[in-house]
Structures are given as C-alpha cells and as structure tokens.
C-alpha cells in the first residue's frame, strides 16, 4: 500500500491539503494547444498530437477517489479515461530534435488496441508531416522513459523485423532506464512490453545512453526526475533566458500538479511525491513553460503558486 507521507502527522496534513485543493475552484483554462508553436529564444518548439489512447482512471489517479477524478476527466463505460499522446518537436536551427514517439498503435495487436483504445488514425509521423518535417530529417530523439506510450513509435515493423523509425537520428535514453526496460520482471514487464522492439537501436549503433543530467545538443538537456520509473528523465529547452520543460510522466496531466495525485503506475511513488514538488517549485520560480505528455486538452502551461502553497497551471504569466 502506498504511503503518501513519512509519518501519521504528515499523512493527515497531506490528506487535509488534498481535500482543500479539491474544494477550491478550478482555475485552469481548458484549451487544446496541439500543433501550436512557440519561440524560445532562438529555438522553435511545436506541440505534436500523436493520437489518443485510454487508461483506467483509477490507476491514473491512484488514491484520489473516483467521485473526484471523474469530474476532471470523465471515464467511459470501462472506467477508462481518454488521454493525449503529446510529443514535442524542437528545432534549434542546427538540429531537429523529437521528444517522445507516441504509442506506435500500428504495432499493437487487435487485443491491445482494444484494451488501450489506441488511435490508429494518427501517429507521431503524421504530426511531424503536418509540421513539415520528414522522419529522415530528425537528428535526435529523446525518450523520457521506455513505456510503450512514450517509446512505442520509436521503431517500425518491416518484413525483416523492427527498424528505427527515424533512420538518421541518434536516440537518447538513460542507461539505467534501458537496463530496467530490457530486464523487466513480472512487476514491470507490462509497462515495458515495447522494450524488445527497441533493441534494433542498439544494433544500429544509434543509441546514446546517458547517466544523470546530460546535454543532448546546445539548448537541449535532460534532467533526471525519478519516481514513475527509476531513471525517468525530463527534457529542458533553454534559449534567450526562456525555458520549456517536457516533464514526462512526473506530471502526466495538468491535474497531476497536486503532490499526492500520484499514478498507481509509478514504481517509486514516494520519489514522485518529492521530485514533483521540487521540479514544480523550480518551474514556478524560473517561469518555465511546461508540456504535459498526456493531457487531452491542455498541452502548455506555466506554473504559479497560490497563497495556500498549491501549484496552479495557468495559460499565461
């Protein structure tokens, strides 16, 4: 059973904070900003709509009661909530970088397409085409972690097996994440079920395994943000004094800015609780523009902190 705090007193305070947050008026602006581009200093970033899929709502919100989370994202008849597959195109002028590759729905069996409600009508390739970018022109792909809804579109199926979907790119992954994905056990294998499809990256010599915070290219770097997985990473794009943060599953939707809205998928929930607060405080203090990977309506948001100390996502500062 997941503990939301380290002591009974902390648990009570966290529960009270959760209740207060729930009772407060929702101040988030609901808008779909996919396909929208922003200029960050000398770098252009574009939100990519790589489709939709569904996950169990209770699993997505962990200890949060259904009566509460269903008001945020209404479930279907199978208790699933519809989620976005939001990726990010980063054009620095020198390099074209893709953050995340979506679920790769075309590779899923009919059974799993039904379970996850995977959208076959769109992929990250389609979203890139709408932005005028061909797969061959992508220089780098950065993956926050290797769960199938983030890395499933990294390879494509051919007659000879699987091949990199972006043939001229190098792929940045945390070394520990790579080892955990390929060595998944009965507890973790469901999330990493696309990992065997990624082995061709290693065979092709295009895999870059990093350890901890690392520079991907000038203006783009990764920071280690564990909790969802042991070596989950987020991506920072910085230029001209401005920063965009692709946060990954540390904060999957705008609703998860509350510290105890923690997914049951998170392998290290206590780390999520701590790291999320640390990163969001930094984001609020430095004015980062956040990108949520699974929010079905709002992709971009800034973070403010109200007089109660709660994190509030807003459209503009």
> What is d(CA 266, CA 129) in angstroms, rounded to the nearest whole number?
33
Query: pTM higher than 0.85, yes or no?
Result: yes
Instruction: Give the SS3 label for residue 252.
Output: coil
Higher pLDDT, residue 317 or 75? 75
| Chain centroid offset of residue 34 CA | 14
User: Is residue 10's pLDDT more than 50?
Assistant: no
User: Is residue 19's pLDDT more than 90?
Assistant: no
Domain ranges of the chain: 41-314
Q: How many CB atoms lie within 10 A of CB 207?
A: 18
**Beta strands 220-224 and 214-217, pairing class:** antiparallel
What per-residue confidence (pLDDT) applies to 118? 95
> What is d(CA 249, CA 72) in angstroms, rounded to the nearest whole number?
18
Q: How far is CA 310 from CA 10, 13, 246, in A?
A: 16, 13, 21
Q: How far is CA 132 from CA 61, 93, 129, in A?
A: 36, 15, 5
Q: How far is CA 256 from CA 39, 171, 251, in A?
A: 26, 28, 5
Any residues with CB less than 8 A from the CB of 115 and at least 6 apart, and which? none
**pLDDT tens-place string over residues 24-61:** 333 333 344 567 999 999 999 999 999 999 999 999 99
Terminal alpha carbon distance of the chain: 38
Mean pLDDT, the chain, integer: 91
**pLDDT tens-place string over residues 147-194:** 999 999 999 999 889 999 999 999 999 999 999 999 999 999 989 988
**Beta strands 300-305 and 289-291, pairing class:** antiparallel
CA torsion angle for 201, 210, 253, 28 (degrees, to 10)? -130
Higher pLDDT, residue 59 or 10? 59
What per-residue confidence (pLDDT) applies to 34? 63
User: Is residue 15's pLDDT more than 90?
Assistant: no
Quick one: what percent of the chain has pLDDT higher than 90? Answer: 85
What per-residue confidence (pLDDT) applies to 33? 52
> What is d(CA 90, CA 78) in angstroms, rounded to the nearest whole number?
36
Q: Which fold has domain 41-314?
A: Metallo-beta-lactamase; Chain A (3.60.15)
């Amino acid at each position: 059973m997941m503990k939301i705090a380290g002591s009974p007193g902390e648990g009570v305070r966290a529960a009270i904070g959760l209740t207060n947050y729930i009772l407060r008026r929702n101040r988030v602006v609901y808008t779909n900003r996919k396909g929208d581009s922003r200029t960050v200093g000398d770098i252009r970033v574009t939100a990519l709509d790589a489709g939709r899929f569904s996950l169990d709502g209770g699993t997505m919100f962990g200890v949060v009661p259904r009566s509460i989370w269903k008001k945020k994202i209404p479930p279907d008849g199978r208790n699933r909530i519809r989620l976005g597959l939001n990726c990010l195109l980063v054009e620095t002028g020198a390099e074209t970088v893709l953050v995340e590759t979506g679920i790769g729905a075309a590779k899923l069996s009919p059974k799993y397409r039904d379970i996850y409600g995977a959208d076959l009508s769109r992929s990250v390739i389609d979203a890139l085409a709408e932005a005028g970018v061909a797969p061959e022109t992508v220089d780098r792909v950065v993956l926050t972690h290797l769960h199938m809804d983030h890395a499933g579109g990294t390879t494509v199926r051919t007659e000879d097996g699987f091949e990199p979907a972006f043939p001229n790119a190098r792929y940045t992954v945390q070394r520990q994440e790579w080892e955990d994905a390929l060595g998944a056990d009965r507890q973790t294998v469901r999330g990493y079920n696309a990992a065997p499809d990624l082995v061709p990256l290693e065979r092709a010599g295009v895999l870059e395994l990093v350890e901890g915070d690392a520079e991907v290219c000038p203006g783009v770097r990764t920071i280690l943000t564990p909790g969802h997985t042991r070596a989950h990473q987020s991506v920072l794009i910085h230029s001209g004094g401005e920063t965009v943060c692709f946060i990954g599953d540390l904060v999957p939707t705008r609703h998860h800015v509350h510290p105890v809205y923690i997914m049951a998928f998170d392998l290290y929930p206590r780390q999520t609780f701590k790291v999320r607060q640390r990163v969001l405080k930094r984001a609020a203090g430095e004015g980062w523009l956040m990108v949520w990977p699974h929010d079905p309506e709002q992709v971009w948001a800034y973070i403010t902190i109200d007089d109660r100390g709660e994190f509030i996502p807003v459209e503009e500062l």
